[in-house]
């Protein structure tokens, strides 16, 4: 990583701190709304339960969020970018292929989290109205907010992003101040900072271990600290976390103080968060909580778009239509994913009705993501030659913590946890089948040496007996080198219907491990006749080949490397540019294949999934008015034991 990137990452500024508070901490910042509600439920409040729970929350935030993510994981940046797929691209060249699967599992459950977070966050905030209207049906209100939130995605959220920081500063300050006012009435709860209270909770309270499933909710959203590093910078996240953590702990301490004053009772239908708010400002509390949950949901939705965008570039997801609604760096909108997420969120709200019913599904998804990030982080630490003993200790610590949380959440499988497992498994299946199908298809593509055909292409270009197909004919190729080319390309030019052109172009896209690389290299195979261009694009760059190719050609023209004016006499005299025509191939599975059962399932699934993907021309950002799509049968193996005999008279 260069020094300028490192300087940008570690730079701390007031605006950067404000953006970090607004974007990064929305999910974890709204956890005080529902964490204690998940822990205590209908249980009778006891001193051991209250102090042990507060202690568990404090040390979870300290180990999982502060130590794992803020101190350790933020160091693993890929040219300034973070997130589980960025971490995978950092280590994949040094590790075995199996490391792909922790990345797929972690990314899949992070997407599943994106379906569960908006419902539980918004529901928790709106349920504060139950204090005024105990019989209020909150579901229609929650659905209206969620639907409106997803509808606004297509217009871009840059205008909303300007409000995120100030609103979240108000939110965190509010929960900290309210918590402090409650804490001073019973400051004795601070003795819960002694970790021994966690031990007594797990050891002495009946079923104490299973309470960890609720405790874990206090650290959901910690993955966002890493994923948003590229937007906010490492320095800004670390400094702003100090303020955010203090406010969160004051909120939990204030709720614990109130709970200590109600020992022997049950928590009741509303959360302890709203119980410590003075009645005179309760309406304000509900309003600011609703805004905070909307911001938390928005941040996670945007993160889901970014995650899918990275998966597409890493060939883990079929290509989708990507829109850039604003000029804000990194902001993208994927319509198909947006509506799928909205449908999922609506389904979650309608199924669970209340936030307390969503807690099991929520915690389970995030725990699995964190476990996978620990596996990948272990590989990163080994690659960076961190002390072996320290690496083992760090990995063992987080694996033991996260495994405990996972087991505690699994007991709620039948209560709703199965939904996050099903969602995650569906996403894992799609990513795995797509990736394996791509690999299998690529392994059977036949290549031929290109140099022997160069002279033939030059002769065809000058053969006036063949009707001219285009002035400039452009083929996309998966070949990493100009020494070979797909057989189907040669067949398309020479054998099907000979395609005469003045200039032949072969374009290849190489996806780089760095996120925002944009460069290209030109190889002249025959001057003024055949060129091979490789575009090196980062895994976060959309392959807009029409634009990139035009810029490359313009640069070559300025350097007098190629002549692009029309070769037709009438047009050449007026110095008019020749036409460009792109040819892309669309494969289909030939009926003549005889594949082993597993490969047959993979390829049939691959082509089934591909029906949801963009056509090849749109996927590469090509203008449809100058694109020809050719259907090419994909033949893996010829049928055997076919004895066709000829009858003779």
Supply 200's token pair.
């007594």
Domain match, 396 and 467 both:
no
Domain boundary among 415, 436, 457: 436
- Domain of 85 in residue numbering reads as 20-436
* Beta pairing, strands 580-589 & 518-526: unpaired
Same domain, 515 and 390: no
Provide the edge-to-edge strand list for the sheet that holds 627-634. 518-526, 530-538, 500-512, 468-476, 580-589, 627-634
- Long-range pairs for 574-581 at CB < 8 Å and ≥24 separation? 578/471, 578/472, 578/502, 578/503, 579/470, 579/471, 579/472, 579/626, 580/470, 580/471, 580/472, 580/474, 580/626, 581/469, 581/470, 581/472, 581/473, 581/474, 581/501, 581/626, 581/627, 581/628
State residue 4's pLDDT score: 47
Question: And the tokens for 193?
Answer: 């900072």
pLDDT at 155 exceeding the cut of 50: yes
pTM: 0.81
Concatenated DSSP letters of 72-113: IGGG--BTTB-SHHHHHHHHTTTS-GGGHHHHHHHHHHHHHH
- Average pLDDT for 535-563: 82
Select from 436, 470, 495 the last residue of a domain.
436
pLDDT at 510 exceeding the cut of 60: yes
Tell whether 190 is covered by a domain.
yes
| pLDDT number for residue 324 | 66
- Bigger pLDDT: 356 vs 120: 120
How do 468-476 and 580-589 pair as beta strands? parallel
Q: How far apart are CA 412 and CA 363, in angstroms?
A: 10
330/218 same-domain check: yes
The verdict on 213 and 88 lying in the same domain is yes
Split at pLDDT 50, 70, 90, the class of 639 is: low
pLDDT of res. 429? 92
- Of the pLDDT bands very low, low, confident and very high (cuts 50, 70, 90), residue 470 is confident
Do both 420 and 450 map to the same domain?
Answer: no
pLDDT bin (cut points 50, 70, 90) of residue 637 is low
Mean pLDDT calculated for residue range 462-479:
85
User: What's the mean pLDDT when you consider all of the chain?
Assistant: 82
Q: What is the largest CA-CA distance in the chain?
A: 109
Distance CA 343, CA 355 (A): 18
Q: Is residue 584 part of a domain?
A: yes
Q: How far is CA 37 from CA 143, 186, 218, 309, 640, in A?
A: 22, 20, 11, 35, 65
**Confidence (pLDDT) at 641:** 66
Q: Are 260 and 189 in contact (CB under 8 A)?
A: yes
Judge whether 221 lies within some domain. yes
If one counts every other C-beta atom within 10 angstroms of the C-beta of residue 499, the result is 20
Sequence-distant contacts of 610-615: CB under 8 A, at least 24 apart: 610/318, 612/318, 612/320, 612/336, 613/318, 613/319, 613/320, 614/318, 614/319, 614/320, 614/321, 615/586
Please tell me which residue, 332 or 37, carries the higher pLDDT value: 37
Domain match, 426 and 492 both? no
Residue 590 has pLDDT above 70, yes or no: no
Same domain flag for 522 and 374: no
Lowest mean pLDDT among 17-21, 160-164, 262-266: 160-164
Angle at 164 between CA 158 and CA 168, to 5 degrees: 175
Cα 400 to chain centroid distance, Å, stands at 26
Using an 8 Å Cβ cutoff, are 616 and 585 in contact? yes
Are 253 and 362 part of one and the same domain? yes
Per-residue confidence (pLDDT) for residue 589, from 0 to 100: 66
Rounded Cα distance between 610 and 597, Å, is: 20
Whether residue 5 is contained in a domain is answered as no
Q: How confident is the model at residue 172, as a pLDDT?
A: 93
Residue 222 has pLDDT above 90, yes or no: no
Q: Tell me how far CA of residue 505 lies from CA of 10, 457, 509, 525, in angstroms.
A: 43, 11, 13, 10
Using pLDDT thresholds of 50, 70 and 90, give the confidence band for residue 638: low
Q: What percent of the chain has a predicted confidence (pLDDT) above 90? A: 13
Residue 2 inside a domain? The answer is: no
From CA 215, how far away is CA 205, in angstroms rounded? 15
What span, in angstroms and rounded, lies between the C-alpha atoms of 396 and 380?
15
More confident residue, 459 or 642: 459
For residues 118 and 188, membership in a common domain is answered with: yes
Domain count, the chain: 2
- Mean pLDDT over 419-442 rounds to 87
Return the DSSP state at 62: I
Enter the tokens of residue 375. Answer: 């596996």
Residues of the chain above pLDDT 70, percent = 88
How far out from the chain centre does Cα 303 lie? 6
Residues 349 and 460 in one domain: no
- Which distant-in-sequence residues (6+ apart) come within 8 Å of 134 by Cβ? 269
**CATH number for position 336:** 1.20.1740.10
Let me know if residue 649 belongs to a domain.
no
Same domain (yes/no): 464, 521? yes
pLDDT, residue 556, reads: 86
Tokens, residue 391 = 């690496």
Interatomic CA distance for residues 580 and 235, integer angstroms: 48
Q: Is residue 275 part of a domain?
A: yes
The answer on 188 and 141 residing in a single domain is yes
d(CA 125, CA 81) in angstroms, rounded, equals 32
Last residue of a domain, one of 403, 436, 469: 436
The residue behind tokens 């995978």 is 88
- Give the pLDDT score at 6: 53
**634 SS3 class:** strand
- Does a structural domain hold residue 102? yes
Task: Quote the pLDDT of residue 184.
Answer: 92
The reported pLDDT for the residue numbered 225 is 77
């Amino acid at each position: 990583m260069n020094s300028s990137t490192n300087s940008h990452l570690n730079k701390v500024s007031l605006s950067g701190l404000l953006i970090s508070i607004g974007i990064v901490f929305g999910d974890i910042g709204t956890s005080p709304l529902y964490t204690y509600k998940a822990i205590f439920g209908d249980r009778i409040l006891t001193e051991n339960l209250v102090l042990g729970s507060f202690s568990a929350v404090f040390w979870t935030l300290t180990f999982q969020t502060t130590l794992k993510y803020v101190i350790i994981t933020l160091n693993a940046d890929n040219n300034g970018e973070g997130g589980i797929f960025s971490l995978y691209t950092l280590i994949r060249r040094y590790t075995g292929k199996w490391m792909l699967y922790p990345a797929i599992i972690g990314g899949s459950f992070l997407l599943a989290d994106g379906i569960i977070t908006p419902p539980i966050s918004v529901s928790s905030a709106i349920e504060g109205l139950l204090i005024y209207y105990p019989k209020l049906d909150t579901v229609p209100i929650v659905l209206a907010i969620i639907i409106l939130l997803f509808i606004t995605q297509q217009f871009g959220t840059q205008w909303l992003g300007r409000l995120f920081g100030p609103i979240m500063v108000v939110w965190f300050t509010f929960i900290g101040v309210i918590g402090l006012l409650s804490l001073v009435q019973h400051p004795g709860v601070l003795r819960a900072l002694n970790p021994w209270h966690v031990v007594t909770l797990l050891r002495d309270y009946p079923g104490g271990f299973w309470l960890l499933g609720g405790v874990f909710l206090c650290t959901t959203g910690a993955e966002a600290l890493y994923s948003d590093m590229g937007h906010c910078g490492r320095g800004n996240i670390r400094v702003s976390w100090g303020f955010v953590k203090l406010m969160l702990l004051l909120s939990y301490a204030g709720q614990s103080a109130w709970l200590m004053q109600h020992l022997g009772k049950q928590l009741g239908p509303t959360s302890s968060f709203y119980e410590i708010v003075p009645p005179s400002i309760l309406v304000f509390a509900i309003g600011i909580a609703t805004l905070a949950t909307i911001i938390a949901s928005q941040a996670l939705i945007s993160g889901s778009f970014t995650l899918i965008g990275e998966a597409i570039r890493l060939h883990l997801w079929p290509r989708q239509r990507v829109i850039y609604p604003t000029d804000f760096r990194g902001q993208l909108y994927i319509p198909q994913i947006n509506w799928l997420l909205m449908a999922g969120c609506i389904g979650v709200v309608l199924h669970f009705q209340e936030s307390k019913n969503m807690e099991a599904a929520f915690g389970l998804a995030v725990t699995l993501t964190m476990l996978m990030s620990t596996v990948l982080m272990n590989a990163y630490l080994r690659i960076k030659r961190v002390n072996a003993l320290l690496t083992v200790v760090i990995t063992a610590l987080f694996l033991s913590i996260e495994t405990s949380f996972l087991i505690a959440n699994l007991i709620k499988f039948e209560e709703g946890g199965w939904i996050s497992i099903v969602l995650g498994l569906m996403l894992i299946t799609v990513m795995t089948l797509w990736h394996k199908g791509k690999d299998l298809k690529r392994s059977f593509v036949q290549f031929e040496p290109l140099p022997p055909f160069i002279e033939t292409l030059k002769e065809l270009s000058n053969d006036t007996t063949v009707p001219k197909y285009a002035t400039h004919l452009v083929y996309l190729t998966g070949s990493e080198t100009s020494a070979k080319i797909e057989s189907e390309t040669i067949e398309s030019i020479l054998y099907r219907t000979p395609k005469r052109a003045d200039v032949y172009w072969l374009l290849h896209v190489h996806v780089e491990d760095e996120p925002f690389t944009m460069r290209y290299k030109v190889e002249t195979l025959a001057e003024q006749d055949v060129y091979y261009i490789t575009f090196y694009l980062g895994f976060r760059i959309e392959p807009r080949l029409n634009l990139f190719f035009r810029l490359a050609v313009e640069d070559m023209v300025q350097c007098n490397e190629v002549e692009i004016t029309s070769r037709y006499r009438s047009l050449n005299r007026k110095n008019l540019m020749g036409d460009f025509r792109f040819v892309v191939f669309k494969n289909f599975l030939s009926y003549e294949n005889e594949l082993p059962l597993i490969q047959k399932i993979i390829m049939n699934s691959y082509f089934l999934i591909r029906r949801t993907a963009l056509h090849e021309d749109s996927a590469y950002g090509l203008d449809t008015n100058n694109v020809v799509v050719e259907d090419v049968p994909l033949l893996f193996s010829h049928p055997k034991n076919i004895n066709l005999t000829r009858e003779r008279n």
